[in-house]
Amino acid sequence: MEALIAQGLEELGLTAQVPAQAPAQLAEYGRLLLEKNQVMNLTAIREEDGVARLHMLDCAALLRYADFQGKTLIDVGTGAGFPGLALKILVPSLKVTLLDALGKRVNWLNEVAQRLGLEGVEAIHARAEEQAQVKGFRDSFDFASARAVADLRLLSELCLPYVKVGGQFLAMKSVESGPELEGAAHAVKFMGGRVRETVDYTIPGTDVTHRVVLVDKVAPTLKGYPRRWAKIQKEPL
Ligand code: SAM
């Protein structure tokens, strides 16, 4: 896994900007993931090569589109830590908050962070729409990220509240997300966001193309938002 990741980082043009130990650390994270996946549902990908490419390198590609050095990021619906924990390994000065509604996954993330000796990682067991009401979380982060969590229309209400004005929400999506983005235009605007750019990238060593939607936070979160999950689903913005 380590060699594959190192080669992929090279192809992404990232070798010079990530720590020398990043490929080894990402590979160790990948091995811990596959080991735990035998007893806990963490990922549908079951081979090392797939983990290296479709998890680690997919997340690493974000480094081409945002500067995370010394910044704060909350990864909403982080699951097994994607993209948040992978980004932390690639940019040690990034302070990362990993948030998920499933306590077992959060406990495992804390174990992994400890095993890898990572500092500046906090894993929180909470629902995104509830935690966003907490002081120190609302309008507070340089970045919010989310991969494979919800439709952008709903996801905007879950993620944009965390981002400070001047910060960014990074939504990792498929290249078929065109109609989804159109359908989310009002929600993004209402939640104080403005789409800056949509970028498609191919994951090294694959013919898989993914998309990242970069949303600037341009206005503070309105009082009363995010709403309760039932309401978000029933009456999407
Ligand atoms: N982001 C990871 C990835 O790309 O591999 C995990 C994706 S997994 C399909 C979606 C995750 O989002 C699950 O772990 C789930 O518990 C979490 N999730 C969904 N809705 C959530 C919410 N409202 N608040 C917190 N976590 C949520």
Pocket flag, ligand 1, residue 145 (CB < 6 Å): no
Residue with CA at minimum distance from ligand 1 atom 11: 77
pLDDT band at 99 (very low <50, low <70, confident <90, very high): very high
Looking at 63-139, list the stretches that DSSP marks H as alpha helix, in order from N- to C-terminal side. Answer: 84-90, 103-115, 128-131
Per-residue model confidence as pLDDT tens digits over 31-88: 999 999 999 999 999 999 999 999 999 999 999 999 999 999 999 999 999 999 999 9
Our CA angle for 164, 169, 171, nearest 5°, is 165
Per-residue model confidence as pLDDT tens digits over 222-237: 999 999 999 999 999 9
Residue 173 in contact with residue 210, Cβ under 8 Å? yes
Residue 69, pLDDT score: 98
CA of 147 to the centre of ligand 1 (A): 8
pLDDT band at 113 (very low <50, low <70, confident <90, very high): very high
Whole-number average pLDDT of the chain: 97
Q: Pull the structure tokens for residue 220.
A: 């503070």
Pocket test for ligand 1, best of 37, 100, 108 (most atoms within 8 A of CB): 100
Pocket flag, ligand 1, residue 173 (CB < 6 Å): no
DSSP H or E segment with residue 169: strand 163-174
CA of 16 to the centre of ligand 1 (A): 32
CA of 20 to the centre of ligand 1 (A): 30
